[in-house]
Structure 1
Amino acid sequence: MAAPRFSILTPVYNTPAGVLEKMLASVETQDYGSWELCLYDDASTEPHVREILAAAAARDARIRVEFAERNSGIVGASNGALAMAGGEFIALLDHDDLLHPDALGHVSAAIDGAPDVDYLYTDEDKITASGQHRDPFFKPDWSPERMRTQMYTCHLSVLRRSVVEEVGGFDPEFEGSQDWDLVLKVTERARRVIHVPRILYHWRMLETSAAAGGEAVKPYAFEAGKRAVQAHCDRTGLQAEVERDPIDPGILHLQPRLKSEPLVSIVIPTAGQRRDVRFEEVVLVVHCVRSILEDSSYENLEIVVVYGEATPPEVLEELREIGGERLRLVPYEGKFNFSAKINLGAVRSRGEHLLLLNDDIEVRTEDWIERMVMYSEQEGVGAVGGKLLWGDGRLQHVGVAFDAGRPGHYHRGFAEDYKGYSNYTLIARNCLAVTGACLMTRRSVFDQLGGLSMSFPVNFNDVDYCLKAYKEGLRIVYDPDLIMYHFESSSRDPEVKEWELNLLQDRWLAMTMNDPFGNPALTHGLPRISSYVSWVKRRPGPLWKRQRRRFEPTR
């Protein structure tokens, strides 16, 4: 008999009878038939478990059962189920959870469309003891940076069996977070990762499960997750130390641990404008440069100020006094053009990394440059940005998102401590663009992409740059632990012109119509109730149309 496409791995231990029966039924009623269910009982002490498993195996030859003589824990049981598998792919199903009836069919269709895929994951929700569905998790497409700070792919995970075996299966060193460790190892070598944006897995909320009890139930699992991510960073050369969030056990943070400090060129365009900052009039560029030099821990930097013809001479003199040998002043002639100023500054700079910075920025995070270099040093990264706050502390930028090709800032004007959906503002993640008000990119990438497009003199030059990088297969990174103040649009007209949006969409609408780091069920970064009701139906409806929304300047 030909091997099935899917081997569903389910370690079992003392599962309540009704819950176990429902789990089995969710597999047996799958519309897609090429599967086997590998049940590995980890020496359950409740007699009903053996009876139910034996009966299931007797009624369906695709259900295979092994009974362990002694308990070996979740990793041992998972590896026991893996050893039983003969399918091309393995799907991970906990003994108390449920598959959507169409789960394997949708995943199989995704594989048919991308035969080289090595890892797939779906959306999920939770199911209460009374059978109510709640807490839908509508996920983005593959985001390596997010995966390091949040185990967001979770359920349903489907992995190519040959790759799982290559990495050694489930590692007992990471008991409790063995799935996170396995996915990290597999995706380090995966040819392709695919997200199926449908709720195809229902995670049951029992008192003994992490879905309901969190860290109180499985404290060891969260510590194991931290160690798994640290091991991943060490394997991949990411110069970071992993720390747990002091409040939310499901969030990790990466602290930079650079082995060296490559030269960073901070390019600041200015016209020497004045503005009130916290009730005191300041020259913005002077305030910005002073903040960089006084509040940054990074040493190996140069500051390249590209100044317009209207810049007062006394401002330049004050900059020389503050900046000393680290400062380079570059004159710019002509009408304001942010792209032209940045490109000129890049030509006149010497750094391995370019840091584009508005003159209305103030440093808040001391190691902000280290944080950017930590990511920018990675070959797969094209641009890095952080969390920007207005002067009163409200959110201004947490990455640029798209709705139907229109760029904008989710949660703009919200309180700084606003978490967003699924901790959107608190976790490192990938997005299609970050603002040019504070953006780092490697010089080699900047040269490869041709710098900023002169077609965008004021708005969207940063977005266009990031989209060029993304098109080349490079990731755009948002780091929530890099926090800066942004006294926004002090040096330019804040209004976005219609022709600017039209030009951006002429170039990039095909790529941005459906933001890969959003989800069809989200609007403005938040779930729509109607979409959730549709996804959990027996037959999910078609993808919902995107809603138009207001957009703002990205810088």
Structure 2
Amino acid sequence: MNTVSSTSAIGLPGWTIEPVFDLEPSDRPGYWRATGSDPQFVLIPKAPLRAGWYQVSFLLDADRVQTRRPVFYVDAGEGFTEQGRTSLDCGASSAVAVLMKIEHDVLRLRFDPIDVSGEFLLRDLQIRGLTPAEAAWLALREERDQWGSAAPLRFAAFLAQARRQQDTQGAQAVPDWILAQRLDANAPTRYLRWIRNAESQVPAPAEGGAGVSVIVLPRADIADALAAYASVIGQLGRGDEVLIPRELAAELPQIPDGVLVVDRSDPVLYGLSEASKPFVTWIGPGERLHRDALVIIRDVLDRRPGTKLAYTDEDFIDDTGERHTPCFKPDWDATLLLSQDYPARSVVLDRQWVQSCAATGPVGDAWLYSISLIASETLDRDAIVHIPAVTRHHVHAPGPLFAPLHADALAQEAAMHLALTNWAGKWHAAAEIQAAPLAGLARVLWPVPDGARIDIVIPTRDRVELLKVCVDSLLALTRTPDYTVTILDNGSVEAETLAYFDRICGDPRVRVIRHDVPFNYSAINNHAVAQGDGDFVVLLNNDTEIIDAHWLDELVGLAARPGVGAVGARLLFPDGRLQHGGVILGVGAVEGGVAAHAHMHLSTSDPGYFGRAQFPQAMSAVTAACLCVSRVAFEAVNGLDESLSVAFNDVDFCLRLREAGYINLWTPYATLIHHESASRGYEDTPEKQARFQSEVRTMLSRWHAQLGSDPAYNPNLALTPREFTIDPRRYARRGAA
């Protein structure tokens, strides 16, 4: 080993430091090379580290700054577990000094300094014990440094709360209270820390390039219009312009260069005919542009020639002017758009393209929503760009879930519904627009193709009490015609199970196929699918229960749409909470960062993140506990990968479908109960854990690039501890697209 890069150079004199995984010394002094995405040091003190507060400090520098996401794990005698995980916020500096609380006496620590392969510098590591008073002082100083200057009023309120904690419970309660605030996924301070980290750099203004016409919409409140105008005028580039209504121009002492006055009163595509720049966007009541909005937008448009429609993330501002409730959006999702106008007025449109849309027919009062629907039908996917940066603030409260970014959503609801009806009439005459039973604008019901035959595949081994609930509920409730249930018996021996098979085979819709091979979920399902000839295949776990007569109509109707791959159902735990709302890639400590179910444990009435738990939408993956796919798509990717015998075979299958050009969907309108893992249990033996870890490594190796950039998610949202929360250390590069 290179003596300069040895563990002795890291720090912690008297400790034993062992590089145990994905690590080797570099030729550069003080540097290490991460050979994989999970480099790990194990730190062993001379004597157990006592429970309490500690300050951890070190120097950490990496080739890519955003990879510096150091994590500590503690071993209190039961090994390293996710329950003993602490993420450390590096901030922008390579010199790190942060607090860490250890709940129990610790035998060993595991230190993961970065989360991708590459070289990094690590030295001067120290772990220093603190008294409660020292911990309280340092915790408050950290909070002040991280977001106090950006949000002084909110920090003052935070400080007052900390003082009340000290007055009522003593100094030792203060750092614990601050830690709880940091861990609260919904705490507004998390977003303030995110702002500090994510918005520290801005793309340099480009010379020339795509100019933008920003059109200020008319409004009754002139003060609001002036504030919107002020948020635009200070950031106009040489190629930009701002268009304002005549009544606003009357309030200005003079009309600066780059400002045009709109005399028209037509509310549909207001100001478009007067705009002259290559791109156009509108700013409406209660909206303000972010101070760097146009720089960010122009930067992306210059790098993405051919863009016809771009849209951005957004947030809200409270009465004190401080930002909250960010709406971090997915990449373009034509299915989600049918329930929710999530692009809203953040869209930036190619002016000539949108003029051509207006020329082909009326777009109605909900004109921007209509334009988004037209884009889904007429534009290539490469012509639509999501910019994962907050470029617009709303001074109004979030609106209803079908249009949370509209101040006037309720007044627009009828017009939006008409736009959706017109869209169906023009492009999807067979689709039925119904009132939304959940929270969306409407429900679009897609028809099951005439004569469609469906193979429902259920692997099982004994556990007849589960299978009986699954099959009996399916046969009793399902209203979709022409389906066959294939029960693949993987070695059942119990008399009660065999008797149930004999009885159920009397139903012409059911057959039982014996397949005595070692358990391999992928191979068993592939074998069962090969025995049928239906147009559509449904993979169904034996621990599910049908509670909805039209579940199969919904799944097959969606799977029959051109270009659709796998379609997943909404699965509930037996107590009624959500178990599966689609799969988010890269999330989930339990599954090694491969994937996790979205919105787990929410009540069925909880909308989730901006309604995402209530709306049909594209997902990168769905669970095979209930998955529908056309036979053509299933065979196009050769079914499930039999090297993944238990875990992640459904995620891998969905990713291969996506790679082949299909989109995967999740729908809440097909709802089942899932008695999760009741038939096989959890990974609770050394053999199961070894197999599971092998499958994790396979997924990380095969899909590493995709696991950190799920298009159905957002690069500004956390990968840990759970999905749809804010992690101040994870953010997209400003203007990235």
Query: How far off its partner does 1:352 sit?
Result: 0.6
Change in Cα spacing, 1:109 to 1:50, as seen in structure 2 (3 Å) is closer
Tell whether 2:708 aligns with 1:513. Answer: yes
Query: Identity of aligned pairs, percent?
Result: 27
C-alpha distance in 2, partners of 1:165/1:375?
A: 32
Tell whether 2:259 aligns with 1:63. Answer: yes
C-alpha distance in 2, partners of 1:488/1:207?
A: 35
Tell whether 2:614 aligns with 1:434. Answer: no
**Which of 413, 435, 444 is the matching residue for 1:222?**
413
Contact 2:438 2:614 in 1 (8 A): no
Contact 1:226 1:252 in 2 (8 A): yes
Partner of 2:294: 104
Partner of 2:656: 468
Change in Cα spacing, 1:96 to 1:468, as seen in structure 2 (3 Å) is same
Partner of 2:699: 504
**CA offsets per residue over residues 430-485 of structure 1, 9 Å max, x none?**
11110000000111111110100011111111010001011122111110121101
Structure 1 gaps of 5+ residues are 275-281, 544-555
Change in Cα spacing, 1:541 to 1:258, as seen in structure 2 (3 Å) is closer
Partner of 1:491: 679
Partner of 1:279: none
Query: How far off its partner does 1:319 sit?
Result: 3.9
Query: How far off its partner does 1:528 sit?
Result: 2.4
Partner of 2:88: none
Partner of 2:386: 195
Contact 1:242 1:252 in 2 (8 A): yes
Q: Which has the higher contact order (CA 8 A, sep 6+)?
A: 1
C-alpha RMSD of the superposition: 3.2
Q: So what's the TM-score if we normalise by structure 2?
A: 0.64
Contact 1:102 1:200 in 2 (8 A): yes
Change in Cα spacing, 1:407 to 1:511, as seen in structure 2 (3 Å) is same
Query: How far off its partner does 1:261 sit?
Result: 4.9
C-alpha distance in 1, partners of 2:519/2:616?
A: 34
**Which of 298, 304, 307 is the matching residue for 2:486?**
304
**CA radius of gyration, larger in:** 2
Partner of 2:66: none
Contact 2:315 2:327 in 1 (8 A): yes
AA in 1 matched with 2:327: F
Partner of 1:278: none
Query: How far off its partner does 1:139 sit?
Result: 1.2
Equivalences for residues 10-89 of structure 1 within 5 A: 10-16=216-222, 18-30=223-235, 32-41=237-246, 49-52=248-251, 58-60=255-257, 62-68=258-264, 71-72=265-266, 74-75=267-268, 78-79=269-270, 81-89=271-279
Query: How far off its partner does 1:89 sit?
Result: 1.8
Partner of 2:511: 328
Which piece of structure 1 moves more, 204-213 or 480-489? 204-213
Partner of 1:546: none
AA in 1 matched with 2:239: S
Tell whether 2:543 aligns with 1:374. Answer: no
Contact 1:386 1:478 in 2 (8 A): yes
Change in Cα spacing, 1:219 to 1:270, as seen in structure 2 (3 Å) is same
C-alpha distance in 1, partners of 2:399/2:331?
A: 30
User: 1:526 aligns to what SS in structure 2?
Assistant: coil
Query: How far off its partner does 1:492 sit?
Result: 2.2
Change in Cα spacing, 1:246 to 1:458, as seen in structure 2 (3 Å) is closer
User: 1:441 aligns to what SS in structure 2?
Assistant: strand
Contact 1:26 1:98 in 2 (8 A): yes
**CA offsets per residue over residues 339-388 of structure 1, 9 Å max, x none?**
11111111111111110101111111211111111210112211100111
User: 2:307 aligns to what SS in structure 1?
Assistant: coil
C-alpha distance in 1, partners of 2:512/2:608?
A: 41
Which piece of structure 1 moves more, 102-111 or 129-138? 129-138
Which piece of structure 1 moves more, 146-155 or 221-230? 221-230
Aligned residues: 511
Query: How far off its partner does 1:292 sit?
Result: 1.1
Contact 2:641 2:653 in 1 (8 A): yes
User: 2:301 aligns to what SS in structure 1?
Assistant: helix
**Which of 327, 341, 344 is the matching residue for 2:524?**
341
Query: How far off its partner does 1:179 sit?
Result: 1.3
Structure 2 gaps of 5+ residues are 1-207, 588-592, 684-688
Query: How far off its partner does 1:296 sit?
Result: 1.0
C-alpha distance in 1, partners of 2:568/2:460?
A: 20
Partner of 2:375: 186
**Which of 395, 411, 421 is the matching residue for 1:204?**
395
**CA offsets per residue over residues 39-58 of structure 1, 9 Å max, x none?**
355xx5xxxx34136x55x3
Contact 2:210 2:301 in 1 (8 A): no
Contact 2:398 2:405 in 1 (8 A): no
Contact 2:318 2:395 in 1 (8 A): yes
Change in Cα spacing, 1:259 to 1:308, as seen in structure 2 (3 Å) is closer
Q: So what's the TM-score if we normalise by structure 1?
A: 0.84
AA in 1 matched with 2:376: T
C-alpha distance in 2, partners of 1:85/1:464?
A: 47
Partner of 1:294: 476
User: 2:251 aligns to what SS in structure 1?
Assistant: helix
AA in 1 matched with 2:578: L
Change in Cα spacing, 1:219 to 1:21, as seen in structure 2 (3 Å) is closer
Contact 2:338 2:441 in 1 (8 A): no
AA in 1 matched with 2:724: L
**Which of 686, 707, 726 is the matching residue for 1:528?**
726
Partner of 2:314: 124
C-alpha distance in 1, partners of 2:399/2:250?
A: 22
Query: How far off its partner does 1:390 sit?
Result: 1.5
User: 1:387 aligns to what SS in structure 2?
Assistant: strand
Equivalences for residues 346-495 of structure 1 within 5 A: 346-403=529-586, 405-495=593-683
Contact 1:122 1:195 in 2 (8 A): yes
